[in-house]
Amino acid sequence: MLKRLIDNQFKLAEHHTDVKTEVIAGITTFLTMAYIIFVNPSILAEAGMDAGAVFVATCLAAALGCLIMGLWANYPIAQAPGMGLNAFFTYGVVLGMGYSWEAALGAVFFSGFCFFLLSIFRVREWIINAIPMSLRLGIAAGIGLFLAMIALQNAGIVVANEATYVALGDLSEPAALYALLGFFVITALAYLRVTGAVMIGILGVTVLAMILGHNEFGGLMSMPPSIAPTFLALDLAGALDVAMLSVIFAFLFVDLFDTSGTLIGVAHRGKLLDENGKLPRIGRAMMADSSASMAGAVLGTSTTTSYIESTAGIVSGGRTGLTAVVVAVLFLISLFFAPLAGSIPAYATAGALLYVAVLMAGSLAHADWEDPTDAAPVLIAALAMPLTFSIAEGIALGFISYAAIKSLSGRFQDLNPAVVVLALLFVAKFLFLD
């Protein structure tokens, strides 16, 4: 009876899979992305948020997103608070622009709501097709470089310098050594295709630091911390400040293309695309993502998005939403491991951030470096994010440089109304709002 219900819900036979395969795929996906349980609270805590509450919000938002994706869209795609977006939340919006974390959560909510509307009215395809590929590549790489800067700074590998702005830190310090060791181990394990390489690297560095007396063990399991400090704490009115519009757009823009790219990439790997190369039920998948973002903001975490690590589960045989449901269950179980999450030092997650940066910066390889009108905006967008410490500013400068260079080169056929309008809006922002 139960087996028939599961098969009817997820159409296992139709997708040539079974419960055992889907469960194994779900466990595999979870192991490759579980690092977010440790990394997200450490990043958002720097914005002044309660780390324990963020830990709970992270697990709940991820579980909810996975459940919606699995039960409604029936795709083996897992969701959780996104890397890069959480860094922008803390270092760009709160510490950089001076907004409260409550207002930043409000911006996350509104970006999720806009994403939801775009999915309902089916304008997402128009937006995705309107943004040039070169800008998408530059933005993806820029987020990676932004994460790399944060990782190097957190580990003390890069420090401030009055003359040169940045300089090499003291590499003999334990934090720097542990971060580099973690990065080396994670990268090597990933190359060897070891499942959960990032997780192993984080926990390995943490345990080693404990053994050598540089870190304290806070415990393994307990009842989940209270979510009260962040639950319903979002400031919707504060997020409607005029200057916050660019922040909402940045959250929306990054989530839209990150989700679209992940969905298509994972679906292609799992042979889930139809005969026309399109993803069936993409509207449901997009709405699952946007709903999870809004729910995450209410719970107290940054933007929730689809994870490219879902590919690991696909490779293991996952083909239906049952894989995502298994990931959801594992995130709920993780709620009882808060003491372990609290024992993870910043330098242990720095290596993971640096490795994620490597993956994201790889998009630069796909840019057309033979065409300077394409290459220049890619480089501007990619460099601007770490150097201005803001994803939003990098996106803005990328659009402006693309429109300006193409226009001056007489390449008007490469421009479309969406790019021109956005570029002009960003110019107005820099001239009149900054």
pLDDT at site 128: 62
Q: Is the Cβ–Cβ distance between 223 and 337 less than 8 Å?
A: no
Selected residue with higher pLDDT from 150 and 278:
150
CA dihedral 162, 164, 165, 166 (to 10 degrees): -120
Q: Is 372 a member of any domain?
A: no
Task: Give the other-Cβ count within 10 Å of 230's Cβ.
Answer: 24
Express as a percent the part of the chain with pLDDT over 70. Answer: 94
pLDDT at site 273: 67
Q: Is 245 a member of any domain?
A: yes
Please determine, for residue 63, whether its predicted confidence score (pLDDT) is greater than 90: yes
Mean pLDDT computed over 327-334: 94
Dihedral of alpha carbons 75, 77, 80, 85, sign:
negative
Q: Is the Cβ–Cβ distance between 257 and 115 less than 8 Å?
A: no
DSSP 241-280: SGGGHHHHHHHHHHHHHHHHHHHHHHHHHTT-S-TTS--T
pLDDT at site 264: 66
User: How do residues 207-259 score in pLDDT, each as one tens digit?
Assistant: 999 999 888 887 777 888 999 999 999 999 988 888 788 888 888 877 877 77
Q: For the chain, what is the mean pLDDT?
A: 85
* Residue range(s) defining the domain that contains residue 163: 17-365
Q: Report pTM.
A: 0.77
Express as a percent the part of the chain with pLDDT over 90. Answer: 33
Q: Is 421 a member of any domain?
A: no
Q: Is 242 a member of any domain?
A: yes
User: How do residues 419-428 score in pLDDT, each as one tens digit?
Assistant: 888 888 888 8
Total structural domains within the chain: 1
Please determine, for residue 75, whether its predicted confidence score (pLDDT) is greater than 70: yes
Selected residue with higher pLDDT from 180 and 131:
180
Q: Is 381 a member of any domain?
A: no
User: How do residues 337-389 score in pLDDT, each as one tens digit?
Assistant: 878 777 778 788 788 878 878 887 888 888 889 999 999 999 998 899 888 87
Q: Is 138 a member of any domain?
A: yes
Q: Is the Cβ–Cβ distance between 140 and 379 less than 8 Å?
A: no
Mean pLDDT computed over 304-322: 81
Q: Is the Cβ–Cβ distance between 144 and 312 less than 8 Å?
A: no
Mean pLDDT computed over 68-76: 90
Q: Is 386 a member of any domain?
A: no
Residue with tokens 């590499």: 171
Q: Is the Cβ–Cβ distance between 359 and 214 less than 8 Å?
A: no
According to DSSP, the residues that pair with 306 across neighbouring strands are 79
